[in-house]
A and B are shown apart, each in its own frame.
Chain A
Amino acid sequence: MILFRKIRFLDETAQSLLEGELLVRDGSIADFGTSLGVPDGAEIIEAEGAVLCPGLVDLRASLGEPGFEYRETIASAALAASAGGITTIAVLPDSKPALDDPALVRQIVLRGVETGSVTLLPYGAATRGCRGAELAEYGLLRDAGAIAFTDGTKNIASSRLMRRALAYASGFGLRIVQHAEDVELANGGAATEGARASWMGLPGIPAAAEAIAVARDIRLAALTGGAVHFAHITTAESLDLIRKAKDQGSKITCDTAPPYFDLNETAIGDYRTYLKLSPPLRGEEDRLAVLAALADGTIDAIASDHQPRDADDKRLPFADAAPGGAGLATLLGVTLAQVQSGHLSLAQALALLTSKPAAWLGLDAGKIAKGKPADLCLFHPDRSWRVTAGQLPGKAQNTPFDGRALEGVVLGTWKAGSRVFG
């Protein structure tokens, strides 16, 4: 039994913070209110000024296993997640081997249970081996625990195959998650096409490569009745297409990741490869459009987009370096920065990290309500820390936010009522 006192929290309906107490019993939220009284034997946690929120639900992360253990392992990713207040992670399937077999999907679920600190919900591969040629076994993968289907960091390029994937997945009531980038246009690119890439002599990827992929898949979703989710959306043009499709009632959802609303292409500076991401960082206008879409509800969730890389992947000339940034430990802080700067309300920011992704996954989590599992994150919104590559929790240190000061320190993380961090 744990009694949180002198904390602030948002319950299911509240738009502003309530001050009070919250009681956890048998791994669930038993009660909350302004004053509960102290039950016998309860551990008391007092944290004046701190905010208690549901554990973060991360829609998109690669964890290195199986096949890339030199970058990250499930154990090290779990440490980073707990330090970042994350209690649920949807795991990308483009590992080695890819999660295209029910046994592999089950294995990831079990490895999550073993950590005791984070629930792992694997995506199934949309195509065998994520090779973009033949459909994977959606039914068997779903029954093994797959929550949706995607080829991870690869776009399903063939229109014919994407059409079939959407149609077939709709029979099982599951979504296809797409890395929205026209493969032909993006091929060989290292940065967003434009003046900056031109002067640096970097091969460019036009921002339109994203909108073209989005436009096609919106039409294919309409054609098939399937549901498509666009991962890490980064441009104003794509967001306009998605907004319009949503208004027309299409089964379209999307997420973005912190680098795309916190940084723009100028952050690359002098060929800093930690800033090489896929999709690449965009111009300032696109960054502002992403922020606006977070505020107006066009974007359904903020995901960490955690892509662990080691030094050998990154200490290369920019065009040769592997894209991707570590994101678990900074997900909350970089999102809260937008609350500090007035672009999002705290309720909006937390919903994008908790209740909205949980609802997308169909989970009974991400809310502060009686009887819900006590997956909780306690953070102090006004304390600050500095992101330092080399000193982050977990193995992956390739943060695009190296040197950034963030307000919002995680004081503790609880998984089903057990303290896993802090």
Chain B
Amino acid sequence: MALKNAMIANSSHFPYTGWLWSKRILMTSFRHLLGIEGLNPVAVTSLLDLAESYVLLNRSGKTQRDLLRGRTLINLFFEDSTRTRTSFELAGKRLGADVINMSVSTSSVTKGETLLDTAATLNAMNCDLLVVRHNRSGAPALLAQKVDAAVINAGDGTHEHPTQALLDALTIRRNKGRISGLTIAICGDIAHSRVARSNILLLTMMGNFVRLVGPPTLIPPGIDAAGVTVHTDMEEGLKGADIVMALRLQKERMDGGLVPSAREFFAYYGLDRRKLGFAKPDALVMHPGPMNRGVEIDSDVADDAARSVIKEQVEMGVAVRMAVLDTLARGYN
């Protein structure tokens, strides 16, 4: 009897059951999308499924322009970006949102009140969805505390870039038929890559084996966690891999800073035909773009239609961002 009472008392805290309850978890945890951290496999899978439907819609040439009608999407970019901003802009417009681009040059932002002043301005404009890119880790999280809009992190410093990881996952899933049990080598400048961090979080969460390959100066300290191994040799790191992801090496990291030169980096870590040969014969090549050809990736590999899915990544980007905007806009209201 006591047990039964306890169960009744307990259940009163959880009025939602089954599908409703899981949907509620999804919605409330989705006020913002600040990173892959905080998502769970259920949320990731449902986002990818939704994105998949938008891939088909986009390819059919039809549009879905009433979903976000009357909603305002602001692209707030404190750092230069062409493809991510365009991708979000296209995603917003395909769903019928009013899209506004705001580029704030970081040089003019010497004091951070500007960031919070901007937040106050955006609140006054009744913005619904705010896509933020900033060169400092944690800046979107800071904004999210101050704005009424749903905040989407479009890349913050060296922290996270969640929509990139989601679009990479969708690309992998479409090509490999699954997004678990795969061996994925992420190569190059891991230390300064938000793409790498988001990908590591997402891919290990979904049950893949992730290898990080790069010179020790470009491997972040203490990054090895469950499901992640670190390699300094491309042959060792790529051996038997299903997916090889090359990361962009920024100009300022070369020239004796963290690696002696671009040519030395290319010789040991650039993804060319020979090094790709260490991976599985059907291994796919990915790159978040924009590419430094002849530095982290050879054109021969990047443009090989049989192996490279780099163009498909861009297409998936729009679909994934539509799914994210759709989910957040629904969850928020």
Docked Cα-Cα span, A203 to B136, in Å, equals 10
Looking at A194, A195, A317, A318, which has the most chain B CB atoms within 10 Å of its CB?
Answer: A317
| Residue contact B115 to A317, C-beta cutoff 8 Å | yes
Chain A nearest Cβ from B168, distance in angstroms: 18
* Contact partners of A206 in chain B: CB under 8 A: 221
B136, B191, B222: the one contacting A318 at CB < 8 Å is B136
| Residue contact A316 to B141, C-beta cutoff 8 Å | no
Question: Quick check: is B111 within 8 A (CB to CB) of the other chain?
Answer: yes
* Contact partners of B221 in chain A: CB under 8 A: 193-195, 197-198, 204, 206
| Residue contact B141 to A195, C-beta cutoff 8 Å | no
* Contact partners of B111 in chain A: CB under 8 A: 312, 316
| Residue contact B158 to A315, C-beta cutoff 8 Å | no
| Residue contact B137 to A318, C-beta cutoff 8 Å | yes
| Residue contact B112 to A320, C-beta cutoff 8 Å | yes
Looking at B157, B197, B225, which has the most chain A CB atoms within 10 Å of its CB?
Answer: B157
* Contact partners of A316 in chain B: CB under 8 A: 111-112, 115, 142
* Contact partners of B158 in chain A: CB under 8 A: 201-203
Known contacts A317-B134, A318-B137, A318-B138; is-contact A198 B112 (Cβ 8 Å): no
Docked Cα-Cα span, A315 to B116, in Å, equals 8
Looking at A199, A202, A321, which has the most chain B CB atoms within 10 Å of its CB?
Answer: A199
Residue in chain B with minimal CB distance to A191: B137
Within 8 A of B (CB), among A333-351: none
Question: Quick check: is B102 within 8 A (CB to CB) of the other chain?
Answer: no
| Residue contact B225 to A201, C-beta cutoff 8 Å | no
Per-residue contact bits, chain A 308-335, to B (CB 8 Å; 1 contact, 0 not): 0000100111111100000000000000
Per-residue contact bits, chain A 5-23, to B (CB 8 Å; 1 contact, 0 not): 0000000000000000000
Docked Cα-Cα span, A319 to B141, in Å, equals 13
B115, B142, B222: the one contacting A196 at CB < 8 Å is B222
Question: Quick check: is A270 within 8 A (CB to CB) of the other chain?
Answer: yes
* Contact partners of B160 in chain A: CB under 8 A: 201
| Residue contact A201 to B157, C-beta cutoff 8 Å | yes
Looking at B115, B158, B197, which has the most chain A CB atoms within 10 Å of its CB?
Answer: B158
Docked Cα-Cα span, A203 to B115, in Å, equals 20
| Residue contact B141 to A271, C-beta cutoff 8 Å | yes
Question: Quick check: is B260 within 8 A (CB to CB) of the other chain?
Answer: no
Residue in chain A with minimal CB distance to B138: A271
Known contacts A199-B197, A201-B159, A312-B111; is-contact A319 B222 (Cβ 8 Å): no
Within 8 A of B (CB), among A192-232: 193-204, 206
Looking at A194, A312, A318, A321, which has the most chain B CB atoms within 10 Å of its CB?
Answer: A318
| Residue contact B194 to A201, C-beta cutoff 8 Å | yes
Chain B nearest Cβ from A196, distance in angstroms: 7
* Contact partners of B115 in chain A: CB under 8 A: 316-317
| Residue contact A319 to B136, C-beta cutoff 8 Å | yes
Within 8 A of B (CB), among A149-208: 193-204, 206
Chain B nearest Cβ from A204, distance in angstroms: 7
What are the nearest 5 A-B pairs in CB distance?
A201-B159, A195-B222, A316-B112, A317-B136, A271-B138
Given contacts A201-B160, A270-B141, A271-B137, could you give 5 more A-B pairs where the C-beta distance is less than 8 Å? Answer: A195-B225, A200-B159, A201-B194, A315-B116, A317-B112
Residue contacts A-B, CB under 8 angstroms, 19 given: A196-B222, A198-B220, A198-B223, A199-B197, A201-B137, A201-B157, A201-B158, A201-B194, A270-B138, A271-B137, A312-B112, A315-B112, A316-B115, A317-B137, A317-B138, A317-B139, A319-B136, A319-B137, A320-B136
Give A contacts to B, CB under 8 Å: 193-204, 206, 270-271, 312, 315-321
Give B contacts to A, CB under 8 Å: 37, 111-113, 115-116, 134, 136-139, 141-142, 156-160, 191, 194, 197, 220-223, 225
